[in-house]
Structures are given as C-alpha cells and as structure tokens.
Structure 1
C-alpha cells in the first residue's frame, strides 16, 4: 500500500513536470492614442490594476488555462468581471495566447475601468470602461509565441471527432435511403411496364363489339376469309374438270 501511494505521488509530480506552460511574459495594455497605451498590470492589495511603476507582474498561462503570476498567485475573475489575485484552487481557467494577444474564453477584449489615478483590470464592459487588449511581451520586448492549454486542445479535438462522426453517419444513412428508394422505384417501373405490355397483348388478341359480344381480332377474321376463298376456288376448278370429262 505504501509503495502504491508513493508511486502515485511520484507519477503526479512527474505529470506536473511534463505539463508545459507558456513562456513567461509581461502584460502590456494596448490602446493607441490614449493614456492606456503600454500600461502594465500590477497588484493593489490583491486587486489587479493597470498603471506604471516597477511593481508590475509577469505571468504564464498554465497547461490547464490558468493565469499564474510571478509572485505565486493566480488570476481570479470576479462576477462583475474585475480581476484579482487568488490561490491556485480559486484560479479561473480559460486563458490562452492567440494571435499575439492574451485571450480569456476565446476573446482578446479586456477593459480598463477608471479608479483614481489607475484603472481596474476587467473582463467585462461597463458604462465607464474603455476597451483594451493585453500584449504578452517577453523580457526582450518581443511578443511571446501563441499558447493553447492542453485541455482546450483536447476538448476541440473531441468536438471535431464527434462532428465528423455525425457527418459520416448522416452521409451513410442518406446513401442507404437513396439506394432503397431507387431500387423500389425501379421495381415499380418494371412491374408497371410488364403489366402494360401484357394488357396490350391481350387487347390485340381479343376485342369486343358494341353489343357486348366477344369477337376475334381482324387478323384472325382475315385469315379465315382468305381460307374460305381459296377453298371455293379449289372447288370451282374441280367441277369444271368433271364437266369436261363427261363431254368427252
């Protein structure tokens, strides 16, 4: 039992070491043509604000989408949208770096709310808020590479797989229905053609006069009349031959 517990702890520690976070960066606000341009994020008794000074915070986006600061605290998004510092267990997930900007829940839009000589750092718009973007900047002044937490990648992959599976299933069902309908229609057409042919054949053999009596078709009558004529001609020729013999 002790061995199993020790092994579990070791594996958990190893997993945390393997899990990669983003490159460390400073948080600079971007709002061209305003006094918000290039302000940094700092902590004021736990509340995150935008301003100047040497007490600015650096951060990383963790593998599970949390914003971790270099003082060991994490970003917590309050119900009103304002950001503050908190413990890892209270930390808000959903952070990433995309297209060279810090994102929260797939949006790069943040807000600065005026508070005396500084601004409250917020994720929600309000009547007195000004929209800003946060550029994650390395110590050398360059923008750090984009970063997506592994949880979001896994979730996206799962969603795409489910969508692909649903599309394939729909295409398969459509093919089955199309084949069934085509086969059924072909069978109906064949049966209808056969019935029409048989009906036409029967109509050519038997017809009915206006008084309701059935009579043979014209082809049969013509054949009978031709036979009778030939028989009559034959009988006439025989009678002539007999009369000539009697005269001799």
Structure 2
C-alpha cells in the first residue's frame, strides 16, 4: 500500500511537470526586408501593437493554451481579429510554440495592421495588413523549446506513455522479488540435505565426513564447495538428533 501511494504521488507530480506553462519568452516580429523586422509586442492602453522600446511584453503559453503576459494579463481576440489585453476568463485559447515560433489555432501566421504611425497586432488578414511571424525568444536571446498545451494529442500521449512504462517497471520488480524468494528457499533446503548426507556413523561411535562437500543446483547453474572439519560436522549432527 505504501508503494502504491508513493507511486501515485510521483505520477501526479510528473503529470504537473508535463502540463506546466511554457518557458517565458519575448515576442519578436519577423518580416525580412521591412520595417516590421524585429519589432516587439507592447500594450497601448490595452491594445496590443508592434513597435520598439523598453515597454515590450514578455509572455508564456499556459497549460490550457492561453497567452499570458508578464504584467499578469492575457491575450484576448476582438471580433476583427486584433489582439488586446484582458482577463483570464476572456482570454483566447489555441496558442502553442512550434519550431521557435508562436502559433495560434495551429497557424504561425499573424498580421500587422497599419494604424497611423504604429501597427496593430492581429490574427486576421485585411486590406491594410502585412503578414508576419512571431519568434518566441528566450531571455538569453535563444529560441525557447516547443510547447503544446495539455489538451493537445502530444501531451496526452506523453502522459499515457509514462503510466504504461511505470506499470511495467512495477510488475518487473514484483516478478524479481518472487523469483528471489523461491531461489532462496530452494538453496536453504539443498544446504540442509547436504549436511545430513555427509554425516556418517561408524562402529566406534565417532562422527566422520569427507573433507569437502559439493553442492550443485538441479540446473547446474550454481556450484559451491564447502570444507567441513570434524568439529563442525559434529555440531551439525547434534542439531539433527
């Protein structure tokens, strides 16, 4: 029972690790040969835009596929496809990270919509929109690992695989323990028989035995030679009487 409880706790802890939020990253726009190259995502009174400066937002993809910013707010999608900041209850789902890029609804394509001197960050194309990609860049400048939320097929498969592997390991341990018990019992029985067989009684009443005793299991896998003096044999004989 103790082993089963410990195993359950370990599996729950491992499951939480599998479905934890992604690594924190910066959102860097990619559009080679344009003024959109390497712009960051920032908030302008709640509206998410692309630009440069020190007010850029960091983010993580949560285990339920939401984009959470480092100011505690979430990405919300307006009816026209543009993004804004909002509460967790209103947050859009379907975000993930694949091949170093942010994905939304399985697509890595986003749009920058011209708005006077700035660009609005959007998920839908329009006549004045330019297609971009968003690179998920770690704090050190390197790409962050791929991440899928817990409602994806890959996360479910990983959890199932862990459970199956652990169960197989547990069965193996049980089988090994039972085999050891049987082997130990058989060895003890053989040893007792060997001691009895080498003790003989001659007419003068003295205990005699060969100098060595050879023991071998039925399958010939284990062989042990035991040297026994007269004193030891005498003690053994006394126990058998």
Q: Distance in 2 between matches of 1:144 and 1:154?
A: 18
Whether 2:138 is the aligned partner of 1:128: answer no
Q: Which runs of 5+ in 1 are unaligned?
A: 1-13, 158-248
After superposition, the Cα gap between the structure-2 partners of 1:137 and 1:52, relative to the gap in structure 1 and judged at 3 Å, is same
TM-score (ref. length: structure 2): 0.57
Q: Which moved more, 1:52-61 or 1:17-26?
A: 17-26
SS in 2 for 1:124: coil
After superposition, residues 1-248 of structure 1 pair within 5 angstroms as 19-153=19-153
* Partners of 2:58 and 2:50 in 1: CA distance: 13
How much has 1:78 moved relative to structure 2?
A: 1.2
What's the CA shift for 1:153?
2.5
More strand by share: 2
Choose between structure 1 and 2: higher helix proportion. 1
Alpha-carbon spacing, 1:72–1:97, altered in 2? closer, same or farther (3 Å): same
Equivalent residues of 2:83, 2:123 under 8 A apart: yes
From the CA coordinates, give the structure whose radius of gyration is larger.
1
Aligned residues: 144
CA distance in 1, matches of 2:14, 2:84: 28
Q: Could you tell me the TM-score, scaled by structure 1's length?
A: 0.55
Distance in 2 (alpha carbons) for counterparts of 1:25 and 1:155: 21
Aligned-residue CA RMSD (Å): 2.0
